[in-house]
């Protein structure tokens, strides 16, 4: 059996992960600025964070891994970013579309890499340590899926009668 780098489904999964975020953003649009009952980020903040992380983490780090030998990354302070840069303006669905476009750019970095390029390494912050580019691609996928699940969980909190919503609109 021929082994391929990356796993042939990884690129498709990277692209499809944003579709889930887009769909979930539509589900919670009515509550986009509502804080969940137990506290935490609003749906709008989740999608704004996804877009910011895509642009400030993956769009910065992937090119550096490709251009530099074993770069060492500083931690990106998501809390400080949200406090300084987050703006509640803009519709959550527009943010989700911007995230989809940003993810296309991320996928573009990975699209035509050689097997040797996939094995390039960097030192990831937060105590993670040395990782290769394939790990970074999976991290980008996991990050989108984590927030997709968070948006679905918020939908569960805000709306407990989904069928009525479907029938009304």
- Where residue 149 sits, what CATH number does that domain have? 1.20.120.450
Is the residue at 35 inside a domain?
yes
Domain count across the chain: 1
**pLDDT tens digits, 25-40:** 999 999 999 999 899 9
Put simply, whether the predicted model's pTM sits higher than 0.85 gets the answer: yes
Is the residue at 134 inside a domain?
yes
Coil/strand/helix, residue 132: strand
Contact 46, 151 (CB under 8 A): yes
DSSP state of 74: P
Is the residue at 1 inside a domain?
no
Alpha-carbon distance values, 161 to 111, 149, 157, 158 (Å): 41, 19, 10, 9
Residue ranges in the chain modelled with pLDDT below 70 = 1-5, 169
């Amino acid at each position: 059996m021929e082994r391929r780098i990356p796993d042939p489904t990884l690129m498709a999964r990277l692209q499809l992960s944003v579709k889930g975020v887009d769909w979930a953003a539509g589900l919670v649009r009515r509550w986009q600025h509502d804080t969940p009952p137990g506290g935490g980020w609003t749906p709008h903040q989740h999608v704004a964070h996804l877009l910011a992380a895509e642009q400030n983490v993956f769009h910065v780090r992937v090119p550096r891994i490709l251009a530099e030998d074993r770069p060492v990354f500083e931690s990106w302070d998501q809390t400080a970013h949200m406090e300084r840069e987050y703006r509640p303006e803009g519709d959550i669905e527009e943010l989700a579309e911007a995230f989809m476009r940003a993810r296309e750019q991320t996928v573009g970095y990975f699209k035509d890499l050689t097997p040797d390029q996939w094995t390039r390494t960097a030192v990831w912050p937060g105590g993670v340590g040395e990782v290769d580019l394939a790990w970074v691609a999976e991290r980008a996928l996991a990050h989108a899926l984590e927030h997709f699940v968070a948006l679905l969980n918020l939908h569960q909190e805000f709306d407990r009668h989904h069928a009525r919503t479907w029938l009304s609109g």
